[in-house]
Structure 1
Amino acid sequence: MAQDKMGFWSVVAVGIGGMVGGGIFAVLGLSVQLAQGGAPVAFAIAGLIALITTYAYAQLSTTFVSRGGTVTFLNKAFGTGVFTGSLNLLLWLSYIVMLSLYASAFGSYGAVFFPESMQFWAKHLLISGAIVGITGLNLLSAEIIGRAESWIVAFKLLILGLFIALGIRGVDPAQLQPDTWASPLAMVSGGMIIFLAFEGFELMANTAEDVHQPDRTLPRAFYAAVLFVLVLYVLIAGTTVGTLTTDKIVEAKEYALAAAAEPFMGQLGFKLVAIAALLSTASALNATLYGTARLSFIIAQSGELPDVLEKKIWNKPIEGLLITSGLTLLVANLFNVSSISTMGSSGFLLIFAAVNYANFRLYRQTHSNRWISLLGTIACIAAVTVLLQQTARTQPQNLWVVVVMVGLAVAIEVGYRRLTKRHIHLRSPQD
């Protein structure tokens, strides 16, 4: 095997690193608030939808070997019309929301080290400092954190494994019984609002050009990574709900995992999980900001964003990086975790519905079972429908931010085409 090509375990590490980023630290408390004792089931529902969607990604990645990933798949299936352009912009906006979630989690976990009277301001200072600092690192050298990424992933998996190993012995089965679960609609909604904790598997598609024997390696890597994370999340949720009352988890919602560790790991466990969260969210922020700036570059190359974003300085898409960081600063500081999670999960569910349908349309080229991808399309649409219905009933203000996000993607695409008449073209795998 060529030394410069990625093998099975390297690709799996990309997927696990992308999924076990800041998501689980940020959304666990929110999931428990919605699903209550059924939080493990909520995570399992979200994981199963992600697992079905990995089939489409595995088939498309091995057929259209490209660093463009999702953008390439949508362009191949639907052409370069307003629909595809809007979806690509929605993907970019959804990643900005993900960045905001990571920054918010960084601020929440970092604030616990400050006196309670200072925590509100400390949180927002840490959010802003993390975004500005990581942006600076990307301007200078993203490799500073990148070199330590494998150690950070290993450390957070070690801490999460220790959390499960020590905590599972003290789980009270009564706190996981069906009579502690929320209603079925709230359970599904709880699974969908934390769906963005799984979305990182999408990053594996962007490695296709760098993978040794992608037709064999990528499918196995996709399934292995998603199954591992699905089991990990269910065990974490079960341990949390089984050892700490729902009221206490909700009270510590934004740093729930650290609070859940304290009963059986003590104050040291609380601090260890908080430190793991800080490292994890910082590394996820770095990797996602690096990738999102390049996503804006790829979309600009296809003509769906202004060509200024296609320019590189110091071999970096500086304009895309700065615009992405600026929008992240606004979203992370102006919206709460619930709003951010609703926006992010809705955006990715819509994108994944489109990717599933893309594989359904291209099944002859991808040699796929089209009915699996049709099932994935229906599951994603049904999931986002349930999420939005539950949001409209319980937090209608969050529904409007989703409508604005989707509407913004369409408005930018339509307005940009009409104003500039810029030519839209498909990217080749070599671009």
Structure 2
Amino acid sequence: MTNSGAEIVDPHRNVGRTIIFSIAICVVVYLLVAFAVGSSLSLDEIVAAKDHSLAEAAEPVLGPCGFYFTIALAVVATASGLLASVFAVSRMLAMLTDMEMIPHSHFGMSGPIREHTLVYTVVIASGLTVFFDLCRIASLRAFYLVMDILIHWGVFRRLHQEIGASGWVLVTAIALDVLG
């Protein structure tokens, strides 16, 4: 959502509303799913099923097809999330490259920078997937949090008055990153 802010009508008003609305929808959906799984399976069955407890919970209600249907939905959801993330990151890289905030090399590729950053994003993500297990990839989150804190601090110290950013919002974001 935040990566598409420039294309939204009245982004100053609608981006924040959309983010809050999206988070509210996700909270409701997660609570409903947790309630459905908890109603269908015992705690021991949930622990035994581990990562596929939702599919296990669907089986008694929908039969064997429900188990596989739930797995298919999880694969589609994961793939669509992956594609959305790849395009959002590559778009952000293209924007930062256009602003001359990060260096860029064509490496002999033709086409616009946006296509280059898409290729870079896919290659880097593929390399991380091949060379790291999920625990190591998740530990890279610490790098993101530190980078996020530094960006918020830089905006707070140098730009918040110039761009009209609320100081308390930036300080709150830093505090939440530290807690994360």
TM-score bracket, shorter-length normalisation? 0.7 to 0.9
TM-score, length of structure 2 as denominator length: 0.73
The Cα of 1:275 is off from its aligned counterpart by 1.5
Q: Cα distance 1:246–1:360, how it changes in 2: closer, same or farther (>3 A)?
A: farther
| Corresponding residue number in structure 2 for 1:378 | 175
| Alignment pair present for 1:277 and 2:81 | no
1:293 to 90, 115, 134: 90
Task: Name structure 1 gaps, 5 residues minimum.
Answer: 1-203, 384-431
Does the CA contact (< 8 Å) of 2:86 and 2:118 recur in 1? yes
State the distance in 2 between where 1:355 and 1:230 align.
Answer: 28
1:45-84 to structure 2, matched below 5 A, reads none
Q: What does the per-residue CA deviation read over 1:309-361, in whole Å, with 9 as the maximum and x for residues that have no partner?
A: 599734464443333223322322443434433434x3444455456546655
The Cα of 1:246 is off from its aligned counterpart by 4.8
1:178-189 to structure 2, matched below 5 A, reads none
Aligned residues: 178
| Corresponding residue number in structure 2 for 1:322 | 119
SS in 2 for 1:313: coil
The Cα of 1:381 is off from its aligned counterpart by 0.3
Q: What does the per-residue CA deviation read over 1:166-205, in whole Å, with 9 as the maximum and x for residues that have no partner?
A: xxxxxxxxxxxxxxxxxxxxxxxxxxxxxxxxxxxxxx22
Query: Cα RMSD (Å) of the superposition?
Result: 3.3
SS in 2 for 1:234: helix
| Alignment pair present for 1:265 and 2:62 | yes
State the distance in 2 between where 1:318 and 1:367 align.
Answer: 32
| Alignment pair present for 1:206 and 2:24 | no
The residue type equivalent to 2:173 in the other structure is G
| Alignment pair present for 1:239 and 2:69 | no
1:119-158 to structure 2, matched below 5 A, reads none
Between the two proteins, what is the percent identity of the paired residues? Answer: 23
TM-score, length of structure 1 as denominator length: 0.35
Q: What does the per-residue CA deviation read over 1:238-294, in whole Å, with 9 as the maximum and x for residues that have no partner?
A: 433454345544544443432332233332221221111222222222222223233
Q: Cα distance 1:293–1:244, how it changes in 2: closer, same or farther (>3 A)?
A: same
State the distance in 2 between where 1:334 and 1:244 align.
Answer: 36
State the distance in 2 between where 1:239 and 1:355 align.
Answer: 40
Does the CA contact (< 8 Å) of 1:357 and 1:377 recur in 2? yes
Does the CA contact (< 8 Å) of 2:3 and 2:92 recur in 1? no
Does the CA contact (< 8 Å) of 1:360 and 1:371 recur in 2? no
Does the CA contact (< 8 Å) of 1:240 and 1:260 recur in 2? yes
